[in-house]
Structure 1
Amino acid sequence: MADAQVDGIGGWVVDVIGSIGEVGVGLLIALENVVPPIPSEVILPFAGFSAAQGRISLVGAWVAATLGSLVGAWLLYGLGAFIAYERLHGLAAKRWFLLFNTEDLHRGERFFDRHGSKVVLVARFVPLLRSIVSVPAGVVRMPLLRFTGLTALGSGIWNAIFLYAGYTLGGQWERVEGWMGPVSTAVVVLVAIVCALLVVRQVKILT
């Protein structure tokens, strides 16, 4: 069995899906949205492979994965709504808060007001960002129905692509992680660099 040779997080994913099937797919994808290091690039291809083996339903796995994406996104949207723009504004005004200032916050709010729908949709296809984007959507209180529709559309397409990849690759489903792993790493590094540059700029402004 190809899945018996998988270790680490991948092995855990295999065990969960093998134990509870489509429900496990949904739970793992919901968790992946909240804890990005759990990669959908492993979850979905293996689910597709399992469907090809007749262990689970391909359509059922897609429905469960898309519902899981929505649940995870709603949780992060709720976190953003709890943080609220007013709290962020108060933080941005503090001298010790180095990530962004009040002007940055206003600029970000204007950008999200104009392009928020595109950002939420497109981010669903980008590792890490597909999780992060739900927080600012909640902060600016994007209408929940619009947020849900955009998330369902983007996540549904993403899930379908990777499920189908696993379905067609068969026992070589792990190759998908090999293709996407460098992309995920590059995105994480880019986000870290951007955050570091923002901190450096703020320090220079304050000094």
Structure 2
Amino acid sequence: MADQIVQSIVDWISVVPPIGVYLIFFGIAYIENLIPPMPGDVIVAFGGYLAAEGLIGLFPVWSLTVVASVGGFMTMYWLGHRWGAQIEENRDSHFLLRFIDYKYFARGKKWMSRWGQGVIVANRFLAGTRSVISLTAGMSHLKITPTILSSLVSSVLWNTLLLAMGWVIRDNWQIIGEYLSNYGKVILALIALFVGLKAYFSYRRRKQVVKDEKE
């Protein structure tokens, strides 16, 4: 399904004028933050290939995708900020919870309270959790200016990497999708392992405390 979406977007890009190409990249980079299944990273990497072929400018597509990524992140931040209280009060019925399980919000809030802006800086590299991070940043009422700057740093680093990959790989840019898919699986597995280990050691500590109290 994702491959079909990518191919459709690529075909679309090939028949629109240059200004339309830039607008497509901007739109994809923005929407990808709102609709996680959107394969935005692969399309950004395709931009690196087009720039390497001289069909579009590297700096314009880089700038537009970075701005769009930050804009998309802050849109989700606003939704979390605006609806956060209602989500907390209506955990079984709020409309956002039809799409994202509340446990992810709860986990994201713990991350925010412990690592704060560090989570925002890392968010572009944490595949599969971006929307949750941006929403929980808003729910946690993180300060707007530092959050924008952290999101900017994250987007600059990630989009630079994607465009560089597309530039270097060129005609074989489509294999980046496979790399990103495997990368996403590894990241999710590491996150799950981290959460599991933390829960395990927390359980061990509680058990030890109970044991010490009995003694």
5 Å-filtered alignment, 1:113-192, equals 113-185=113-185
Instruction: Read off the aligned partner of 1:155 and give its amino acid letter.
Output: S
- CA-to-aligned-CA distance 1:142-163 (integer Å, 9 cap, x gap): 1111111000110111000010
Change in 2 beyond 3 A, CA 1:26/1:88? same
Whole-angstrom distance in 1 between the partners of 2:58 and 2:121: 24
Q: Give the unaligned 5+ runs of structure 2.
A: 196-215
Is the CA contact 2:25–2:64 (under 8 Å) kept in the aligned structure 1?
Answer: yes
5 Å-filtered alignment, 1:15-30, equals 15-18=11-14, 19=16, 20-30=20-30
* Percent of residue pairs identical: 25
Q: TM-score, normalised by structure 1?
A: 0.75
Q: TM-score, normalised by structure 2?
A: 0.73
Is the CA contact 1:17–1:47 (under 8 Å) kept in the aligned structure 2?
Answer: no
Larger mean CA deviation between 153-162 and 140-149 belongs to 140-149
Change in 2 beyond 3 A, CA 1:151/1:12? same
Whole-angstrom distance in 2 between the partners of 1:11 and 1:111: 36
Instruction: Read off the aligned partner of 2:67 and give its amino acid letter.
Output: L
Larger mean CA deviation between 112-121 and 147-156 belongs to 112-121
Is the CA contact 1:70–1:152 (under 8 Å) kept in the aligned structure 2?
Answer: yes
Change in 2 beyond 3 A, CA 1:28/1:92? closer
Aligned residue pair count: 183
The answer for the alignment partner of 1:3 in structure 2 is none
- CA-to-aligned-CA distance 1:25-58 (integer Å, 9 cap, x gap): 1110111111111123311121110111111111
Is the CA contact 1:22–1:57 (under 8 Å) kept in the aligned structure 2?
Answer: no
RMSD between aligned residues: 3.2
Whole-angstrom distance in 1 between the partners of 2:63 and 2:53: 18
Is the CA contact 2:80–2:137 (under 8 Å) kept in the aligned structure 1?
Answer: yes
The answer for the alignment partner of 2:10 in structure 1 is 14
Whole-angstrom distance in 1 between the partners of 2:31 and 2:192: 22
Whole-angstrom distance in 1 between the partners of 2:108 and 2:60: 38
